[in-house]
Structure 1
Amino acid sequence: MPELPEVEALRVFLDGRATGRRVARALPVAFHVLKTYDPPLTAAEGRAVTAVARHGTFLDLALGPGPGSGAASDGPLHLVVHLARTGRLRWHDRLPAAPPRPGKGPLALRVALDGPDGPGFDLTEAGTQKRLAVHCVRDPAEVPGVARLGPDPLDPSFTAASLAALLAGRNRRIKGVLRDQGVLAGVGNAYSDEILHAARMSPFRQADRLTGEETARLHAALTTTLRDAVDRSLGVAAGRPKGEKKSGLRVHGRTGEPCPECGGTIREVAYRDSSLQYCPACQTGGRLLADRRMSRLLK
């Protein structure tokens, strides 16, 4: 699943190529992808892309006023995209000449820029669980997932004191708190593992029991890990962030491999539909974490 670093790199990529261009056509190919109906998706056509922003793991293409008159053309619009688990954005310097065929392949939505022979991008989604979402709205806050987001950890105003305030009173494991989009925007399963490993902190540590020094260490690990991941992802071709993400991960998805810090064996806690990875030597004083069903530490 694309997390904050991949989506931020994709935002930079798209901003450099789409901003200033006009949306010639926005064509949904899969019926499930469009989550809004007012204004209609056709209201995006003829508008210029004025900026590409990011809200957590949501991409936001800001569109200027429409070329016509009427309610659909009044004021700016936003195309807000969430790639979910398996969604991808694929940029084309020149879109295929043949129109897309509904129901064929992973293509969910196509956006053509500057006319039929111009560039554009496709939104695709593999697998059977279709969660890719596109919202055409007047304000990004109209999207429920955006409205509930906590602060962005890469915002310059997000300090160690900001993190301490978020953790206060949260009697939950720190792994779950970091993944909670209502607490902190953009961090998912993979980077929460990476952040906790960099902070040398157990994923089962209670969030409201961190000391001031531990909170400062977690904040430093949080911002450094995410910024380094953004830097690695910049320049990777749109639609192919997964390989770069995996190559940069030190513990997540590396069960049984040696820890790059201490050489110990990376361990796993498995859940029904996900898992976490950690280094016992670096993070738990050598103790193995029990699985969720036991909910305790094993020696």
Structure 2
Amino acid sequence: MKKTALNLAVASCLLTFGYASAAPTFDADIEIDTDRVNADTGGTTFDQNGRVALYVSDSKTSGENFISAKGAVLLSTDGTTSVDDSYIQIGNSTYDIQVGRFEAINLFPLGKDTIVEHAGDVSVYQGSMARGRAGDDGGQIAINITSSEALSFQINTIYGDDDSSGDNKTAFSGIRPTVTYETESVTLSAGFEQVKYDGTTTASDVNKSGVSVTAAFELGDADINVSFANMNDDETNQTVTSYSANLTQDDFGMGVIASDEDNATGNDPSVLTTYLAYTLPVFDIDDASVTLAGSYSKASDVSSGTNDTTLATRVRFNYAF
């Protein structure tokens, strides 16, 4: 009884000074995938994998200002453990700063991409080199600015080198400014990114840049995404141009991805991949579902006189608890 009274007293004082806090939120879910992949160049492979995801988040406010934090840990079925998100965000409704490990705005959304297997190892550029969740040697600092209900900006940076091949002597190895304009009928986003740092050897130097544009809109009850992205690698003189379009309606989704490589030497392969997925409830149990998904991909000019096709299927069980 004394503890309850004390808690109420503390809460009343906090509210009096304009300070509000909610209890941390804890969530978790498990996901198990059973896959079959058949490729012309690699035969048929079978695999089962999955993970348990543990999430914790919290936020506090003081007047118009806030601080929030989120952490997510993945426990994989192969026995490994990794961190998905881990960040702190500080600011207000007009601007904020985000620091840690996270994903910036998506400039190449794929919709319901439960499984997407591209044939021939052809590169697909998705405007995500500096999007975030950097490697072991990198971190992130992002600034988010909301100019109005329709217009917002984000500047995301990679602090340090993105992966272990870098020499760790570059403060900001990646930068990714984006702009989003939203109306009642369509949302448009565009961005530029560059990743540049010296590697531990000359062969591992990185100097890449790219642009991406995406549009999202509704067509009846369906959500549609259409995207374009182009990347240039100044170290290898390679250009990758990619396109995507997808539709999601209720529990069904489908999409298509096309990509072309323009290489300084050798072949210039291209790939066209289609995919679909449908989610069903499990015995009408809340938060339990099974998703049936597949993708078909065809690559041309992978090597001299060689094409490739890949057919992949996946059954995914998911349960949130």
Whether the TM-score (by the shorter chain) exceeds 0.5 is no
Bigger strand fraction: 2
With the length of structure 1 as denominator, give the TM-score of the two structures.
0.27
With the length of structure 2 as denominator, give the TM-score of the two structures.
0.25
Bigger helix fraction: 1
